[in-house]
Structure 1
Amino acid sequence: MFNASCNLPLNTDTVCLTYIYSVIFTFGLPSNLLSLWGLYQLGRSGGAGCQLVLILNLLLSDLLQLLTLPVWILYLQGGHRWPYGRPACELVGYVFYVNVYASVMFLCLIALDRCLAIVYPLCSRGVRTVRVAAAAGVAVWTLTFLFCLSGLLPSVFDPERLLCLEQYPVSPRYAKFKIATTALGFLLPCAILGYTSARIGLTLRRSPSVSHQERNKIVGILVVITVNFMAVFGPYHLVGGYRFVSLLLTDEPCRQERSLFLVYRLCYGLTSLNTLLDPLFYIFLCSYARMELRRSLPCVKRRRAPPRPGPPTEPGSPTPESASSKALWE
């Protein structure tokens, strides 16, 4: 299957992307559902808080993105031909893009929330509430939808070649939209994650109540999360940024599209890895959520039944154990 305008070998990405999407969907769907169930049980036990609201929104965006992957697998197996019509293409395309960038924004909000909990534990208590987190969630969904809508209009469907969410060569308007997504959807979040990690690390280093081993563990996990974000979203946005800037400057757009087609498509597929990794870093590292998950699922074996936990201590309140560690992970 070759593109009529740029003569692109569209089927070269079929095998790799099919395997990537299949693995992500197979393991990502149960891990997200388990994480959602664990958080639901945590909320029922009285552990609701602003972090819980933000992480629930993050998992919801990941789950919605995951549900589009089987459709993209069928699209790839059909030779990049969309047989379901324009409305279905626009719906799936918007759902995919909106949830990719909603996920990124919720990651930033979680990082900012944890930074406030560690660096400003007392004065941030009035801001770090369930009501504020819920309002922030509504704002994120609204702004992300409007932003993606403005960039993907008038349509993401090519009726002549039956391409969905693909255009070769891209229009100048779409290229500018993708450059904006690189700046707002990757570079800005990288700065936020880097800044919050640095502030948390500096605060923990100055805190006498945090042991050296605990400090190294927290900082290490923060570094892993930041590096994971850069590894998953970095190639796609950096290659895409180069692609769309060069397309605006070159006189031979099809030559540029041919040189970057396979690399860009593989980087595009790797962005869905965040739906598999988010539950690992943000849920399975939370001991209260794991405890509620084991308690609510009899099929999960455990050596002994731990006492049912009360509501997690509000970050910033003094406790015999490290308040910094609890604010960050509990």
Structure 2
Amino acid sequence: MEKQMDNLNLTCVTNSPNPISDFLMGIYILAFILGLAFNLLTLGPIVQQVRSQNVLGVFLLNLSLSDLLYIFTMPLWINYYHLDHRWSLGSLSCSVAGFFYYSNMYLSIYLLCCISVDRCLAVTYPLRTKAFRSMRYAWMLCLVVCVAVMSAHGLVLFKNNLQDAHNDTQDRCYETYPMPKPMFLFNLLRVGIGFLLPMLVLGLCYWRILGQVNQSKGLGEQVKRKVRLLTIGVMVIFSVCFAPYHLLLLTRSLAYYHMDGQRYCKFEDNMRFPFSCTLALSSLNSVVDPVLYVLVSNGLREDMRLSCCGNRKSQRERDRSVITTAWKTHTSLI
């Protein structure tokens, strides 16, 4: 099988005009406009949360910065789909755009995971884990996540044959056919460690959070509703933005391993546009992230309102006098 794959060239899957390219371009345009607006709108309040020594603000700030770095590369992808999967800007820009795309995806996944674990600890073990839920540990954790994710995806720049994907007839970006063997192994790791493991952690965290909150008699219905909304929102992000991509990524990788050359090429040709659609869906996480975690957080939502009114400082002093118990402090950050 390996020998047959090696004999295949880039004509295994050929570029051809397809109306789906216009649909994909529309998704990226929508994600660019809304993602840029929402992230810039919420960046100021998130910074205020960091200045207020809010651990949640650290994770949100890193999530927002990651989203913005990816959003700034979206015009390149819009142009790519406008030209029916032809990259006319050179391999260097393709490498940079792809690096930020994949890094943002897994930074988002792991930062969402960090936020969920932090919320779980705040609700289930508020006193026992107080020392570990500090600004210092939050920044260290974000640094470790960023270095690990970016280092891993830096390898893609050297293993995905990007230079070979650029010639006079097939000028693609991160669409190399047949799949290089190192990418087959890397894709399996991405599905397992980059998606399935975080999804398992998220499920366990929100199962504990919901159980603890539902049993509490001291919480109002509004707080419980906010927790349920956060849980549903995270699961929707994973189900809509990330699950389809990783499901097809796993399917493509297994097809590469089990199929012979001709069957594999036919399979990849049929899966090319569905797979591109899952990539476009994953880009919507940059739009949903700020909406989900900013608008369901009382502190950030209040900062947004007060930034428009111009009296943030006085209102903050009144708010501090109201919060008198540790439980209320923790639940206000869920």
Q: What TM-score does the superposition give when structure 1 sets the normalisation length?
A: 0.88
Secondary structure in 2 aligned to 1:197? helix
Distance 1:86 1:93, change over 3 A: same
In structure 2, the partner of 1:79 is 84
Secondary structure in 2 aligned to 1:82? coil
In structure 2, the partner of 1:295 is 306
Cα deviation for residue 67 of structure 1 reads: 1.1
> Is 1:15 matched up with 2:22?
yes
Structure with the larger helix share = 2
Secondary structure in 2 aligned to 1:153? helix
> Is 1:115 matched up with 2:105?
no
Secondary structure in 2 aligned to 1:81? coil
Cα deviation for residue 83 of structure 1 reads: 2.3
Within 2, Cα distance between the matches of 1:279 and 1:94? 22
Cα deviation for residue 273 of structure 1 reads: 0.7
Residue type at the aligned position of 1:26: I
Q: Deviations over 1:111-148 (max 9, x none)?
A: 00111100110011111111111111111111001111
In structure 1, the partner of 2:270 is 259
Secondary structure in 2 aligned to 1:164? coil
Q: Give 1:168-207 correspondences, 5 Å limit.
A: 168-207=177-216
Residue type at the aligned position of 2:244: P
Distance 1:240 1:74, change over 3 A: same
Q: Give 1:189-228 correspondences, 5 Å limit.
A: 189-211=198-220, 214-228=223-237
Cα deviation for residue 193 of structure 1 reads: 1.0
| Deviation larger for 15-24 or 289-298 | 289-298
Q: Deviations over 1:234-293 (max 9, x none)?
A: 111112211211121101210110121111110111001100001111112222222222
> Is 1:53 matched up with 2:58?
yes
Structure 1, unmatched stretches of 5+, are none
> Is 1:138 matched up with 2:143?
yes
Distance 1:221 1:191, change over 3 A: same
Within 2, Cα distance between the matches of 1:324 and 1:53? 16
In structure 1, the partner of 2:297 is 286
1:105 pairs, out of 106, 110, 119, with 110
Within 2, Cα distance between the matches of 1:123 and 1:33? 36
Q: Is the 8 A contact 1:105 1:189 kept in 2?
A: yes
Within 1, Cα distance between the matches of 2:157 and 2:227? 39
Distance 1:216 1:159, change over 3 A: closer
1:319 pairs, out of 285, 309, 325, with 325
**Count of residues in correspondence between the two structures:** 317
Secondary structure in 1 aligned to 2:130? coil
Within 1, Cα distance between the matches of 2:131 and 2:330? 18
Spell out structure 1 runs of 4+ moving beyond 6 A.
Answer: none
Secondary structure in 2 aligned to 1:309? helix
Q: Is the 8 A contact 2:15 2:84 kept in 1?
A: no
Cα deviation for residue 188 of structure 1 reads: 1.2
| Deviation larger for 154-163 or 260-269 | 154-163
Cα deviation for residue 197 of structure 1 reads: 0.4
In structure 1, the partner of 2:240 is 231
Within 2, Cα distance between the matches of 1:220 and 1:92? 33
Identity of aligned residues (%): 29
Structure 2, unmatched stretches of 5+, are 1-9
Secondary structure in 2 aligned to 1:297? helix
Cα deviation for residue 209 of structure 1 reads: 1.7
Q: Deviations over 1:12-32 (max 9, x none)?
A: 531111000001111110100
Distance 1:171 1:269, change over 3 A: same
Measured on the aligned residues, the alpha-carbon RMSD in Å equals 2.5
Secondary structure in 1 aligned to 2:301? helix
1:37 pairs, out of 32, 44, 50, with 44
Q: Is the 8 A contact 1:102 1:141 kept in 2?
A: yes
Residue type at the aligned position of 1:61: S
